[in-house]
C-alpha cells in the first residue's frame, strides 16, 4: 500500500502529467487540476521534457561525455532519460542525476543508477558546493574535460533569495572551456493562463517563480549562447524530424529553453 502524502511533489506531479505511475493521490489532484481546469497546460511538462532530450543529444554530438542533471525528477516513462540519450552517442558516458526529493532519490537509485557510470545524488540545487563535493560527483566527473550541465525547469523553483544566477555562475566556474550549460525555465506573462499557472504552482508547492525572458537570459551570465535568440519556447527549440511546425498555444510559449558554451 502506498504511503499517504499530505503535500504534492514537483517531481511526482510532473511525472504524472507525463504519464508516469509513481505518484500519490495528492499529486494526481494537482496534475488533474492542470489538465482539467487549465486544459493544454500539460504541454509545459511535455515540451520541456522533449527539449531536454534534444539538448542531451546535441551536447553528446558536440563531444560531451559527462553530464550532471540537476533537479532531474523521476525516471522518464518513455525510457528517454539522460543516460539513455547520451549513450546513443557515447556508450561510456558518465551521468550524475541530482534531486532533493527523497522519493525521487529512492526511485532514481533503483531505476537510473544501473551501472558504475551512473550515480544518483540526493542534494539541493540551491547548494551547488554540496553537489560538487559529493563523492560520486568526484568519482564520475572529470572537471578537466568538458561537462554538460542540465537545469531543466529546476531554476523555476528557486526563489530570488536562493540566487539562481549564482547557482549557474558556480557551475560555470567549476567546468572547463567548451562545457555546455542547458537551461529551461517557466516564463512569466500577463495572460490568464500564465497568472493561473503561477498561482497554482505556488499554492501547490509553496514555491516557484516564473520569470520574464530578460531574467531567464541573464541566468546564462557570461556564457556564450549557441542560438539566436538566446532562449525560445521549448516547443520550437532546435526542432527535430518528429516535430511539425504549428502555431504555439499560450501554454507552449510559457516554457523556454537555451544552451550556452563556456568560452
Residue ranges and CATH numbers for the domains of the chain are 10-261 (3.40.50.150)
Query: Please, are residues 262 and 181 in contact by the beta-carbon 8 Å criterion?
Result: yes
82 SS3 class: helix
The cell for 245 is: 511546425
pLDDT for 55 = 98
pLDDT for 51 = 96
SS3 percent helix, strand, coil of the chain, rounded to 5, is 40, 15, 40
Strands 94-99 and 180-186: unpaired
pLDDT for 5 = 64
Q: Which helix (H) or strand (E) holds 104?
A: helix 102-111
Instruction: List beta partners, residue 180.
Output: 148, 261
Cβ neighbours of residue 181 closer than 8 Å, sequence gap 6 or more: 148, 149, 151, 168, 171, 172, 175, 220, 223, 259, 260, 261, 262
Mean pLDDT (10-residue bins), the chain, 263 residues: 66 90 91 91 92 97 98 86 96 96 89 91 97 98 98 96 98 98 94 87 91 97 96 95 87 96 97
pLDDT for 150 = 98
Cβ neighbours of residue 119 closer than 8 Å, sequence gap 6 or more: 95, 96, 97, 113, 136, 137, 139, 140
What are the C-alpha distances in Å from 258 to residues 13, 28, 184?
24, 30, 6
Cβ neighbours of residue 175 closer than 8 Å, sequence gap 6 or more: 143, 146, 147, 149, 181, 262
The cell for 146 is: 568538458
pLDDT for 140 = 98
pLDDT for 1 = 32
pLDDT for 3 = 45
- For cell 539541493, the residue is 124
pLDDT for 7 = 85
Amino acid at each position: 500500500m502506498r504511503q499517504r502524502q499530505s503535500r504534492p511533489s514537483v517531481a511526482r506531479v510532473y511525472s504524472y502529467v507525463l504519464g508516469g505511475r509513481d505518484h500519490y493521490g495528492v499529486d494526481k489532484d494537482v496534475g488533474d487540476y492542470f489538465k482539467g481546469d487549465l486544459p493544454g497546460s500539460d504541454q509545459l511538462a511535455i515540451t520541456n521534457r522533449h527539449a531536454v532530450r534534444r539538448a542531451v543529444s546535441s551536447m553528446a554530438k558536440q563531444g560531451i561525455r559527462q553530464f550532471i542533471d540537476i533537479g532531474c525528477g523521476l525516471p522518464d516513462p518513455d525510457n528517454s532519460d539522460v543516460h539513455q540519450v547520451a549513450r546513443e552517442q557515447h556508450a561510456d558516458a558518465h551521468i550524475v542525476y541530482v534531486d532533493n526529493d527523497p522519493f525521487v532519490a529512492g526511485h532514481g537509485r533503483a531505476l537510473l543508477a544501473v551501472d558504475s557510470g551512473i550515480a544518483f545524488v540526493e542534494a539541493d540545487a540551491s547548494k551547488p558546493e554540496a553537489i560538487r563535493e559529493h563523492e560520486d560527483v568526484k568519482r564520475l566527473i572529470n572537471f578537466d574535460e568538458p561537462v554538460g550541465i542540465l537545469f531543466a525547469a529546476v531554476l523555476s523553483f528557486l526563489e530570488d533569495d536562493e540566487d539562481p544566477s549564482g547557482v549557474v555562475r558556480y557551475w560555470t566556474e567549476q567546468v572547463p572551456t567548451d562545457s555546455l550549460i542547458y537551461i529551461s525555465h517557466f516564463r512569466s506573462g500577463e495572460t490568464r493562463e500564465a497568472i493561473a499557472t503561477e498561482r497554482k504552482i505556488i499554492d501547490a508547492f509553496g514555491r516557484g517563480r516564473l520569470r520574464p525572458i530578460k531574467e531567464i537570459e541573464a541566468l546564462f551570465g557570461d556564457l556564450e549562447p549557441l542560438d539566436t535568440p538566446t532562449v525560445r519556447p521549448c516547443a520550437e527549440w532546435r526542432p527535430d524530424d518528429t516535430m511539425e511546425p504549428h502555431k504555439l498555444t499560450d501554454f507552449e510559449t510559457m516554457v523556454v529553453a537555451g544552451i550556452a558554451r563556456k568560452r
